[in-house]
């Protein structure tokens, strides 16, 4: 048995000593002895006093101390200490940390923590120790010897439940910290790259939008020029031809060989060609759009559409659109054209309704059919037709939605804010 160790009634050996405390002294029970109480005895092994007497108890005590030292000394990169209510070290132990710091762990036992620590360190440490002695665990991080330690200070209750001492556990977390720092830096650099890439993508998207708007505008101008030429040149030539054929037909009247009839048939063919030329020219660039505005152009287009495809088509204008920008006029007209073309190609509809609502601070164009509806995959993605409609709406700060409606059919809705 260790010097100063006593055998108690329950057969456990406890090492007791007296720690000077002001004028008085405090009885200190070595924590290593406490291991004896928590280390289970093998069932077959007789209790110390019953079988082996003092010698066996001493053996047990040594074993306990050995086990405790093995645990405490092998805490990797850490140290552990117990302190009493007078803030004096009762036990100090640990792995490489204490040795690296040149700390004599045996020499610390019984020493006052406030006196040992530098005043500044103790100032931040004191509330934590007092907190633990008041029953509240505390933790902090400290920098010392160029390393970072995570410090936990825990209350250790005695048998009666009152806190009789505190335990300090210090873990060297320098490597962990630098790994965290590395991860933080990698994250930061990734976030920076994501922000840069997002800005690049947004820039590229803006350029594409500008390019798409420019291409639309160039195409519209080109179509307007071709429409004018077809209308003026071809239209005039055909009108002249029709006039000549009519007078020829008159002169041939009564001649044998059915010549007058052939001339009249040719006149009718030229008439039909004049109609076709007008239609083609109007589709390329409806003159109505520039001359009489959006409502008149949509009225004409929906009427022509109904005649051509035999789908009932109604147009309704709510409110009178203000003097909208010519580019916006043509954009809305093209959206309506593409939506109606889609109805013919995909909807299998019997009727379609086009509404232009220009009340308030926005202009809304709706094309609703009663066909088979659109699949969510097509509505979400779509190919060039839908993409073109969306881009045209976006170019004016608006949006285009396409969805199946309850009761069947598809609704295309373009909403564009009106600039005052
Ligand atoms: N009114 C509609 N009813 C049902 N399906 C539709 C309707 N409008 C579009 N769709 C579906 O959405 C798809 C995409 O339409 P989108 O206009 O983008 O392409 P498209 O008409 O097939 O070809 P294009 O690029 O020549 O216009 C169509 O292929 C069709 O399946
Ligand atoms: Mg289409």
Atom of ligand 1 nearest to the CA of 341: 21
Q: Which whole number is the average pLDDT over 187-206?
A: 96
pLDDT at 9: 39
pLDDT tens figures, 250-278: 888 888 888 888 888 999 999 999 999 98
Backbone angles phi, psi at 207, to 5 degrees: -60, -45
- Whether the CB-CB separation of 166 and 155 falls below 8 Å is answered with yes
- Whether the CB-CB separation of 402 and 367 falls below 8 Å is answered with no
Burial class (CB in 10 A: 0-12, 13-18, 19+), 19: middle
Contact partners, residue 55, CB within 8 Å, separation at least 6: none
pLDDT at 36: 39
378 Cβ below 6 A of ligand 1: yes
Pocket test for ligand 1, best of 309, 374, 376, 409 (most atoms within 8 A of CB): 374
**How far, in Å, is the centroid of ligand 2 from the Cα of 362?**
25
Q: Which whole number is the average pLDDT over 152-170?
A: 92
User: In terms of pTM, does the model score above 0.85?
Assistant: no
Give the Cα separation of 403 and 289 in Å (integer).
Answer: 28
Give the Cα separation of 168 and 154 in Å (integer).
Answer: 7
Question: What mean pLDDT is reported for the chain?
Answer: 84
In order, the DSSP letters of 263-290 are: HHHHHHHHHHHHHHHHHHHHHHS-HHHH
Question: Within 10 Å of residue 255's Cβ, how many Cβ atoms?
Answer: 10
> What are the angstrom distances between the C-alpha of 205 and each of 168, 197, 200, 326, 399?
59, 12, 8, 25, 16
Domain with CATH 3.30.565.10 in the chain: 291-420
> What are the angstrom distances between the C-alpha of 201 and each of 191, 197, 198, 205?
15, 6, 5, 6
Tokens of 9: 């009634």
pLDDT at 52: 63
Sheet of strand 78-84: strand arrangement: 89-94, 78-84, 163-172, 147-157, 138-144
- In terms of DSSP H, where are the helices of 235-354? 235-251, 259-284, 287-291, 294-309, 326-342
Backbone angles phi, psi at 159, to 5 degrees: -55, -35
371 Cβ below 6 A of ligand 1: yes
Query: Which string of b and e fits 160-192 if b means at least 16 CB within 10 Å?
Result: eeebbbbbbbbbbbeeeeeeeeeeeeeeeeeee
Atom of ligand 1 nearest to the CA of 369: 1
Q: Which fold has domain 291-420?
A: Heat Shock Protein 90 (3.30.565)
384 Cβ below 6 A of ligand 1: yes
410 Cβ below 6 A of ligand 1: yes
385 Cβ below 6 A of ligand 1: yes
**How far, in Å, is the centroid of ligand 2 from the Cα of 385?**
4
Checking if the pLDDT of 79 tops 50, the result is yes
CA-CA-CA-CA torsion for 2, 3, 6, 7, nearest 10 degrees?
40
pLDDT at 420: 64
Contact partners, residue 150, CB within 8 Å, separation at least 6: 139, 141, 170, 171, 173
pLDDT tens figures, 378-390: 888 768 899 999 9
Confidence of residue 359 (pLDDT cuts 50, 70, 90): confident
Q: Whose CA is nearest to atom 14 of ligand 1?
A: 382
Atom of ligand 1 nearest to the CA of 386: 18
Tally of residues, the chain: 420
pLDDT at 347: 95
Q: Which residues pair with 165 in a beta bridge?
A: 84, 156
Give the Cα separation of 280 and 296 in Å (integer).
Answer: 18
**How far, in Å, is the centroid of ligand 2 from the Cα of 163?**
81
Atom of ligand 1 nearest to the CA of 342: 8
**How far, in Å, is the centroid of ligand 1 from the Cα of 413?**
15
- Of the listed ligands, the closest to the CA of 368 is 1
Pocket test for ligand 1, best of 336, 343, 345, 388 (most atoms within 8 A of CB): 345
Range of lowest pLDDT (33-42, 86-95, 368-377): 33-42
Atom of ligand 1 nearest to the CA of 371: 3
**How far, in Å, is the centroid of ligand 2 from the Cα of 289?**
22
383 Cβ below 6 A of ligand 1: yes
């Amino acid at each position: 048995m260790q010097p100063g160790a006593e055998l108690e009634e329950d057969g456990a050996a406890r090492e007791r000593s007296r720690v000077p405390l002001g004028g008085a002294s405090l009885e200190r029970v070595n924590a290593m002895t406490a291991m004896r109480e928590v280390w289970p005895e093998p069932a077959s092994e007789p209790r110390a006093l019953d079988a082996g007497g003092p010698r066996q108890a001493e053996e047990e005590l040594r074993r306990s101390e050995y086990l405790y030292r093995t645990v405490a000394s092998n805490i990797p990169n850490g140290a552990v200490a117990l302190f009493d209510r007078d803030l004096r070290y009762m036990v100090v132990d640990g792995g490489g940390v204490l040795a690296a710091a040149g700390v004599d762990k045996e020499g610390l036992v019984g020493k006052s923590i406030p006196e040992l620590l530098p005043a500044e360190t103790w100032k931040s440490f004191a509330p934590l120790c007092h907190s633990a002695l008041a029953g509240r665990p505390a933790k902090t991080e400290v920098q010392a010897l160029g390393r970072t330690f995570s410090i936990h200070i825990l209350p250790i209750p005695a048998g009666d439940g009152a806190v009789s001492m505190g335990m300090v556990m210090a873990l060297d977390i320098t490597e962990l910290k630098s790994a965290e720092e590395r991860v933080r830096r990698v994250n930061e650099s990734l976030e920076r790259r994501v922000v840069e890439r997002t800005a690049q993508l947004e820039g590229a998207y803006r350029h594409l939008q500008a390019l798409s708007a420019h291409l639309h505008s160039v195409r519209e101008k080109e179509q307007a020029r071709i429409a004018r030429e077809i209308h003026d040149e071809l239209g005039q030539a055909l009108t002249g031809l029709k006039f000549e054929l009519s007078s020829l037909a008159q002169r041939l009247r009564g001649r044998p060989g059915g010549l007058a009839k052939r001339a009249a048939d040719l006149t009718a063919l030229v008439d039909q060609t004049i109609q076709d030329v007008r239609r083609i020219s109007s589709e390329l660039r409806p003159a109505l759009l520039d001359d009489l505005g959006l409502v008149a152009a949509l009225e004409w287009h929906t009427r022509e559409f109904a005649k051509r495809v035999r789908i009932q088509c109604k147009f309704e204008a709510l409110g009178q659109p203000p003097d909208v920008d010519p580019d916006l006029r043509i954009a809305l007209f093209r959206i309506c054209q593409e939506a109606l073309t889609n109805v013919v190609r995909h909807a299998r509809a019997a009727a379609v309704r086009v509404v232009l609502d220009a009340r308030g601070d926005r202009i809304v164009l709706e094309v609703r059919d009663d066909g088979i509806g659109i699949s969510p995959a097509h509505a979400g993605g779509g190919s060039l037709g839908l993409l073109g409609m969306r881009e045209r709406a976006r170019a004016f700060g608006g949006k285009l939605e396409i969805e199946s409606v309850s009761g069947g059919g598809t609704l295309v809705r373009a909403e564009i804010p009106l600039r005052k």
